[in-house]
């Protein structure tokens, strides 16, 4: 059970049966699909802070082999200029385009006390009578970078699954270890709260040791669905441009390596694209600029 001190409220606004959107840094954040989507939503919606879950009872700053929970620091000429710890923060946004408002939760997967962490999150959901929770994520898959990533889903009920059918979403079968997502979903079922996990299938080329840390096509894939499901009326043009540049960069790399190019072409033949890729085609100048950025990045790495 969550303690009263597990959530520190900044505001208690009156919200209209809000949706909650969750994006956590951790295991199922391939391509930064979860954290990147929440950053995009925060930038576009400009929500206000609602509450925060302090790190102390749920997180270990140093996990062997993992640095993601350490604070980010900046030192200039021997002086500490910036200290940014990881945070678990709720935000709220009043939706002028629909009849339901939105709560965003951006944070870090807990290392400790999973059920108490989940109870704290769902305590906020119950406090504001959240009507449905969407949790975003990205799973590594052999999705060709030239194709639109698929989005798969796990739901808390048959009724919710029926509601999400025919929305360019696949429903998955799985048996194996669970995580904080399944803990949240299990508690939602017990509390009769609707929850859906939306996971983009993120480009991953293990044969070439290639893991793409930031994938705008995966972020766009989940946000396109969320945009429709929640009537957000978001302009995704920025992500369309980033997706085009992302594809151009990887396609340029394929042109430099025949084995890599053949590998991608083989994946393309076997891939069933969920929907048409509506990203605008890059002009010749834009494609050249994308390649120059890629090469500049390689040069910086070598330096």
Which one is predicted more confidently, 298 or 247?
247
If you average pLDDT over residues 283-293, what whole number do you get? 49
Q: Which residue has the higher pLDDT, 70 or 186?
A: 186
Residue 303 has a pLDDT of 43
More confident residue, 281 or 115: 115
Question: What is the spatial distance between Cα 216 and Cα 98, in angstroms, rounded to a whole number?
Answer: 26
The number of CA neighbours under 13 Å toward the Cβ of 81 is 5
Enter the tokens of residue 190: 């017990």
Range in 18-27, 159-168, 177-186, 276-285 with the lowest mean pLDDT = 276-285
- Average pLDDT of the chain? 88
Is residue 80 within 8 Å of residue 90, measured between CB atoms? no
| DSSP class of 177 | -
pLDDT score of 196? 97
Confidence grade of residue 30 (pLDDT, cut at 50, 70, 90): very high
pLDDT, tens digit, 9 for 90 and up, residues 54-106? 988 998 887 665 556 788 899 999 999 999 888 999 999 999 888 999 999 99
- Does residue 285 carry a pLDDT above 70? no
Instruction: Assign 270 a pLDDT band (cuts: 50, 70, 90).
Output: confident
In this structure, the dihedral spanned by the alpha carbons of residues 107, 91, 129 and 17, taken in order and rounded to 10 degrees, is -130
Q: What is the pTM of this model?
A: 0.85
pLDDT for the residue numbered 271: 84
Over 60: is that where the pLDDT of 254 sits?
Answer: yes
Better-predicted residue by pLDDT, 51 or 303:
51
**Model confidence pLDDT, tens digit, residues 136-163:** 999 999 889 999 999 999 999 999 999 9
Confidence of residue 279 (pLDDT cuts 50, 70, 90): very low
Task: List the chain domain ranges.
Answer: 4-233
- pLDDT confidence of residue 193: 96
Rounded to an integer, the average pLDDT of 235-259 is 92
Fold topology of 4-233: Rossmann fold (3.40.50)
pLDDT mean over 31-50:
97
Instruction: Give residue 301's pLDDT.
Output: 43
* 234-241 CB contacts, 8 Å cutoff, 24+ apart: 234/41, 234/44, 235/44, 238/40, 239/40, 240/278, 240/279, 240/280, 241/279, 241/280
Sign of the torsion formed by the C-alpha atoms of 11, 137, 1 and 70: negative
Q: How far is CA 90 from the centre of its chain?
A: 15
Q: Tell me the DSSP string of 54-102.
A: -STTT--S-BTTB-TTSPEEEEETTEEEEEE----EEEEE--TTSSS-E
The CA distance from 72 to 50, in Å, is 23
């Amino acid at each position: 059970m969550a303690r009263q001190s597990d959530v520190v409220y900044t505001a208690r606004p009156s919200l209209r049966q809000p949706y909650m959107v969750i994006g956590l840094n951790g295991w199922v954040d391939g391509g930064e699909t979860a954290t990147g989507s929440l950053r995009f939503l925060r930038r576009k919606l400009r929500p206000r802070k609602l509450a925060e879950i302090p790190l102390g009872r749920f997180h270990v700053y140093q996990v062997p082999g993992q640095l993601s929970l350490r604070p980010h620091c900046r030192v200039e000429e021997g002086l500490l200029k910036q200290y940014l710890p990881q945070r678990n923060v709720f935000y709220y946004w009043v939706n002028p385009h629909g009849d339901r408002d939105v709560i965003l939760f951006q944070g870090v997967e807990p290392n400790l006390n999973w059920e108490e962490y989940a109870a704290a999150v769902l305590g906020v959901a119950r406090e504001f009578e959240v009507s449905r929770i969407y949790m975003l994520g990205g799973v590594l898959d052999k999705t060709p970078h030239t194709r639109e990533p698929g989005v798969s889903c796990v739901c808390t009920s048959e009724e919710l699954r029926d509601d999400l059918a025919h929305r360019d979403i696949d429903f998955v079968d799985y048996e194996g270890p669970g995580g904080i997502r399944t803990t949240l979903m299990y508690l939602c079922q017990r509390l009769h709260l609707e929850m859906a996990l939306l996971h983009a299938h993120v480009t991953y080329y293990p044969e070439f040791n290639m893991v793409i840390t930031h994938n705008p096509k995966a972020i766009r894939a989940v946000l396109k669905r969320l945009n429709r499901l929640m009537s957000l009326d978001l302009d995704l043009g920025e992500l369309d441009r980033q997706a085009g540049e992302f594809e151009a960069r990887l396609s340029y790399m394929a042109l430099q390596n025949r084995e890599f190019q053949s590998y991608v072409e083989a994946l393309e033949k076997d891939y069933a694209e969920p929907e048409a890729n509506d990203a605008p085609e890059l002009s010749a100048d834009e494609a050249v600029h994308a390649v120059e950025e890629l090469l500049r990045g390689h040069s910086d790495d070598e330096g």
